[in-house]
Amino acid sequence: MATKDLLEHPEEITAKVDFYGMARARSLALVQGLSPEDMGLQSMEDASPAKWHLAHTSWFFEQFILKKFEADYTSPDDRFAFLFNSYYVKIGPRHTRSNRGLISRPDVDAVLTYRAHVDTAMQTLLTEDRPDAVEIRKLATLGCHHEMQHQELLITDLLHALSHNPLLPSYRRPVPTPVTKAAPLGWIDHAGGLVEIGHDGDGFAYDCEGPRHKVYLRPFRLASRLVNNGDWANFMQAGGYENAEYWLYDGWTTREREGWDAPLYWWQQDGQWWSYTLHGPQPVDLNAPVVHVSYYEAAAFARWSGKRLPTEAEWEVVARDYPIRGNFLGDGTCRPTAPNDPADPQFWGDVWEWTQSPFTPYPGFRTPKGAVGEYNGKFMCNQFVLRGGSCATPIAQMRPSYRTFFYPHQRWQMLGTRLADDV
């Protein structure tokens, strides 16, 4: 859309400013009630402090938009370019990732002031009539989606950090475990054949979601529901964590080294399984989707079940026939739940679903030029694709082609699984 078109359609400008404001406001809402001590916690290298997430997302807008397009823009502190860069090598040097929790200064107030400074400049820039307005708003949209990804990381990183506190504090007000019903396990058949996957349309998508391309699928079926905690308890009771027969070799050595015998945050108390959640300690709801399991565990469960994990193409061609609604960030639960309707396949929300597909480039993929090209392309190795979003994902991020990715040993995110089978 040219600048002239934007002037003739001011609602486009308003929508971009509103979208920016919504994304930024949600981050601040997520840290309401946290103490400065909470916001500085870093429990492992994979996680970052809440304070760092607030600063880094502001750094993104500053670095990729304000410093590039606004000649009069001045950062409140030039040292922030070093402190809050994540992995953008072309931008310059970075503070050591594992030491982000040691950045006690700038303090929380200074970070919030930094955010406000960036917001003021961005909101002005987004409403200006200028020849590069379309490019600016395109990058601002990317920045908003980047911020939404960090909102998910913010609360899951915080969950991991708080889980190390022996008092097991809650991030959100404790709520009773709901009374749920078991959903029967059925199957959704697909004839396979030559299908197309990948982003299709003019709306926002990350570079790794395209190009749209053809994939041949053999006939298959997907489970009509997610693997739930009751299924997982049966797997554990049957010795699933003790039998190497079900495990990939790397998974088995990881299980031995880490001492895994249950999903992350589970423990037994008085003969019952409990789990640590964002609402504090909760009895495990056997009908809710299992969460915080690695790719290795998901693959072992699938083999024990006599099934397999789906490919990302199989997942996409089935899930896109279902409306995008479910349990997402902002719905108030902050935990996976059993569906109200037992017929709901839960393709969207609750837990990210592991696929057996490696995170690699689609045919014809080209890394964008410049530092923004480091967003996804440099991570296309040794990771696996997950689909569908989770209870920690903003629903505005969701579309059938959205791919997220994690290493096979990781499980601190809202990671679950669905079975697949050949027909």
pLDDT value at residue 292? 98
Structure tokens at 77: 């502190």
Query: Which CATH superfamily, name and number, covers 187-422?
Result: paralog of FGE (formylglycine-generating enzyme) (3.90.1580.10)
Residue boundaries of the structural domains of the chain: 3-162, 187-422
pLDDT value at residue 173? 87
Q: In angstroms, rounded to a whole number, what is the distance separating the alpha carbons of residues 197 and 205?
A: 13
Query: What is the pLDDT confidence band of residue 66, given thresholds at 50, 70 and 90?
Result: very high
How do residues 321-332 score in pLDDT, each as one tens digit? 999 999 999 877
Instruction: Give me the mean pLDDT over the 237-258 stretch.
Output: 98
pLDDT over 90 at 2, yes or no:
no
- CA 119 from chain centre, in angstroms, equals 24
Q: In angstroms, rounded to a whole number, what is the distance separating the alpha carbons of residues 380 and 328?
A: 26
Buried b (16+ CB within 10 A) or exposed e, 397-414: bbbbbbbbbbebbbbbbb
> Minimum mean pLDDT among 9-23, 248-262, 402-416: which range?
9-23
Q: What is the pTM of this model?
A: 0.95
Q: In angstroms, rounded to a whole number, what is the distance separating the alpha carbons of residues 302 and 142?
A: 36
Q: In angstroms, rounded to a whole number, what is the distance separating the alpha carbons of residues 149 and 394?
A: 8
pLDDT value at residue 276? 97
pLDDT value at residue 3? 33
Mean residue pLDDT of the chain comes to 94
